[in-house]
Structure 1
């Protein structure tokens, strides 16, 4: 048989004549060739999805969208990709959904080409966008698997500019893990990311995140732009593990409520940073043991340690804006209303 257990077996040739082959052998060859679609250099290939609006055809794609209810074809592609162990590749274009995309466990959704952040902090646009034209769509992407809610996204722009009430990524109740690389969020959502009520980990790189209240554990956020983000019960609360954020740009005021063992290093804040204890779901409402080090603040903004904060390490932060000549505008420094916080070696305010 030319194919045995998915591997090629050299047939026996007699007098330069091809050996006979039966129907089962043909089926084995067919199955093997189909499964090759799921094999790539990293062990996973791609199911390719395109849109007719950008000129895609079935000669270049596995699934074709037409700009209306594109979640139908994308969800079909996700189902197929899960069956053969592949990822989803979206070709250039805008994909418009009328119901949420429903990723299955451990799937990667990747755009064909994606932008990156330049030295000025702005982003070159991705060539793939997911959006909606229906105000009744609750979210663009909804993760609600009972046993694994791990989602990987790369090179995608998620947009709800038309309907501010829509969420971009929404989780169900089970533990969730979200990996973002070069993912750009745009819109006016109250919460662009709705985390699960159970434990949630976010790993974001070179992405732009907006308007979310995040409770994080075992998370890592690097070189991202964050606008309208607040943090509640992050870090080691309730036996959760550390959260690490560095080299990010924070726009707007940032609050951290009942957070523990979070580390913020080398970030730029264009608003203020406030640590506070609150009235969340935790038994002990305390904001403690966070490390705030080496961050830069825009003129007039600073750090406030609220009542109930304790044992936070706030060192080597500061900010000065040069205005020409000998004129400088300083940051507002650190205000410590807590107890046993360590505040040291921060830049003067004048």
Structure 2
């Protein structure tokens, strides 16, 4: 089996986290795993079990704000790949992305064997052209490529999302575990619930006795300010990614749209109330491997459009969801988790 393997997954934080099971399969059968991520996903790559080193390069055919594809930029990619001397590479992509531009760049960098999922004719760019039937969740789709290349998860690996530990102690920020995290922001406006709806939901949760913690990046502070109410703790902009993972791990439930932190919650095994806009399929992109309450009209007119901004006036797929539905979903998930903990305690298991 290969000694040095390069795994490529460009795009955002969540996309990289969803590649985790495939990476662990590779790591179980290789001496060294390098991970090539885009700048938006690098921090997530650094959390993945099995990754020995992380490279970063912004792919101009994938990034939503693409840089110019210049000889100098492509030369930087070539030099970074050559420095790790991979003898195999797996190029992971979403269903709507082509792996062939990256495969061409890797060939130019001297990678002797490349595998990818490709509907397009790859010519000599791929040694393994893998096909995927049906509509599997993204982690299973990526793992199927690793398996087709001869990499399998080790015994005892459940194939769910995971990050490396230990996580930092954040109780000084959050208080004791058991709160509800509300993470309102997403990378595309079409995936976000309205701020007014979030404000109503946060107020309803607080009124019904839940401790609410708001999270987000520094650029989300204005959004969180509009959502917060007395009794809600606002940690927006106050955590790095590993600290955010610890905050999510301490939550009973996370309320979030289709965004990277929803997948980070799944990676620390926290249930998610997913406010999911159907611009991409929930079957592929909903939080994976944890209990999920999926809210939002999955048959709305924007379905499968991949729109970054809502193409329908009023954003009805999400804005028809009310605070009462979120409250009910949180109650269901907290009740399920409490029942699961009681069952494990009775049987001597671990939560």
Interval of TM-score (by shorter of Structure 1 and Structure 2)? under 0.3
- Compare the two structures and name the one with the higher helix fraction: 2
Larger Cα Rg: Structure 1 or Structure 2? Answer: 1
- Compare the two structures and name the one with the higher strand fraction: 1
Higher relative contact order, structure no. (Cα contacts within 8 Å, ≥ 6 residues apart): 2
Q: What TM-score do you get using the length of structure 1 for normalisation?
A: 0.21
Q: What TM-score do you get using the length of structure 2 for normalisation?
A: 0.21
